[in-house]
Amino acid sequence: MNAPKRIFALSIASAIIATACAVPPAAPPPAAEATRPADPVGKIEGQAEQVAAAAVMTAMPPKPGGSAARAIELAKKYAGVTLNVTWEAGLQSQDPLLFSAPEFERLTGVKINVIETPFTELFSKAVADHQAGGGAYDVLNFAPTWLADLADGGVLEPLDAYIEQHMDKNDLSDLHSTYAKYQQWKGKTFGLWDDGDVFVMYYRRDWFEDAKNKEDFKAKYNRDLAPPKTWQEWDEVCSFFTERGKANNEYGCAIQRTAGNTYLWFYEQFRSNGGRFFDADMKAAINSDIGVKTLTDMVNANKHMPPGIEKWGFVEVLQAWMDGKLGMIITWPPIGRWSEGYGLESKQLEWVPKTKVAGKVGYAVSPGGHSELAVGFMLGVSSNSKNKEAAYAFIQWLTSPEISGQRVKIPFALRDPYRMSHFNDPEYAKLWPNAAEYLKVLQEGAATGLADLGIPGAREYEEALDRAITAAYAGTDPKAALDKAAEEWNAITERIGVESQKAAYEDWQKRLGANAYP
């Protein structure tokens, strides 16, 4: 799971370039040294066939009159045209390169030129092209929190007229209501949702069901051992498992703490604790008593995690989890699939460590009952495109129920369920033994999840907060760190304009409702 500097979550594909990172002594060997299992999915009856079926690189026939069929007919008018499409470089881009682009060309005659772009540059290159008078891009991939800046900057084309004329309106109700809230800015639609990123709490079901663990936990805490529903319970369960297992290099929990995306876990815990980003006067409130308590708790929680956790990123957590060394983690959806070995036989996932936890994993929303809707992706049309209608046809086809339903099942595509038809897909529910439970938790996470702050300047706010959290992990007093970040937030607000930011913040809260603050 940011431009111009990375401020969003490392998107899972960043793992490809991160496998050489140094891993603390408590961690298993780096992923670059991990060996791929000879047949990681064949051990589960029928799963290899399910993986193969899901990854068939031919689009299923579209429903007559549906959005996919309408998009195909619309695009045929532009046969021979080439669309330039930005996509995050690495694993994410395997979807358009191997499936979406060649299929759309086969069906319509429109060629798709996939421009692989580092996540850190997706925003800056789109803005730079527009400011230069552009036309280099037709379709833009962007994170939802960039929507306000891109729309206000004139980078994105409004899509409402295209939707009204070409989309099957039933598809709008198929989109999960939470994700539907993101698509508009100031009353206009500027993007179509394309990725249901939401944090999931993964836990070792076998550790929680162990009779001795249950007995000893009950004796110590006078309650049953169960997946934690509060952050205090998280700390207690994590501490319990760490005390029992650290001699064997086993720890109760781990959450990535490395600089660049650690703000996401603060966003989640802070708001579950009752925190608000700004007060009524649009002054930063991240350094409130709730904010200081949240960051202090996060710092203290690190002592129950593996040594050196402050430098752990996505890959380090993945390695330790797949090696069976952790009792709980909170991270993005793909780990749920990979834990069961789903898709690990594909060449694109050779770097993922062999799983030792298949059949042992449970899923839940984060403690506090609200998971962070961490990053995600949307698709939009560049306002400078010379082929706007063709570009719109492509993104309507991509995000239609039929095509998106296939894409979320391609093991290496990294697009996660976001439509009701995805969550209720009987074929997806068969991909591994407890896939139906996984889908249920993703749906619950979307319904009760907390959206990343999405107002102008969001990138800068996140950078400042991330620096503060990282400083606290390194020893800076949490209050002092947050006070500094709050000063930076106030400076950002004043530079953009207090009144305009207040209006944008109020609009964000109104649109997102309980997904802004529970």
Sorted by where each starts, the structural domains of the chain and their CATH numbers stand as 56-196+376-408 (3.40.190.10)
Q: pLDDT band for position 517 (50/70/90)?
A: very high
Q: What is the arithmetic mean of pLDDT over 382-403?
A: 98
CA distance 34 to 501: 48
Q: Is residue 4 reached through a cis peptide bond, with omega within 30 degrees of 0 on the bond before it?
A: yes
What integer pLDDT is reported at residue 495 of this predicted model?
A: 98
What tokens were used for 37?
């299992």
The lowest-confidence range among 35-39, 261-265, 444-448 is 35-39
Beta pairing, strands 139-142 & 192-193: unpaired
SS3 content of the chain, % helix, strand, coil (to 5): 50, 10, 40
* Collapsed DSSP state (helix, strand, coil) of residue 372: strand
What integer pLDDT is reported at residue 26 of this predicted model?
A: 35
CA distance 270 to 256: 17
Q: pLDDT band for position 62 (50/70/90)?
A: confident
What tokens were used for 203?
């836990």
Q: What is the arithmetic mean of pLDDT over 479-486?
A: 98
pLDDT in tens, 120-153: 899 999 999 999 998 899 999 999 999 999 999 9
What integer pLDDT is reported at residue 470 of this predicted model?
A: 98
Statement: the pTM of the whole predicted model exceeds 0.85: yes
What integer pLDDT is reported at residue 44 of this predicted model?
A: 35
For residues 162 and 389, is the Cβ–Cβ distance under 8 A? yes
> Whole-number mean pLDDT of the chain?
90
CB-count burial class (<10 Å; 0-12, 13-18, 19+) for 281: exposed
Beta-bridge partners for 192: 379
What integer pLDDT is reported at residue 275 of this predicted model?
A: 98
pLDDT in tens, 317-349: 999 999 999 999 999 999 999 999 999 999 999
Percent of the chain with pLDDT over 90: 86
Quickly count: other Cβ atoms within 10 Å of residue 345's Cβ.
21
pLDDT in tens, 169-194: 999 999 999 999 999 999 999 999 99
DSSP code, position 181: G
What integer pLDDT is reported at residue 57 of this predicted model?
A: 57
What integer pLDDT is reported at residue 24 of this predicted model?
A: 33
pLDDT in tens, 212-268: 999 999 999 999 999 999 999 999 999 999 999 999 999 999 999 999 999 999 999
At residue 338's C-alpha, the angle toward residues 28 and 432, to 5°, is 140
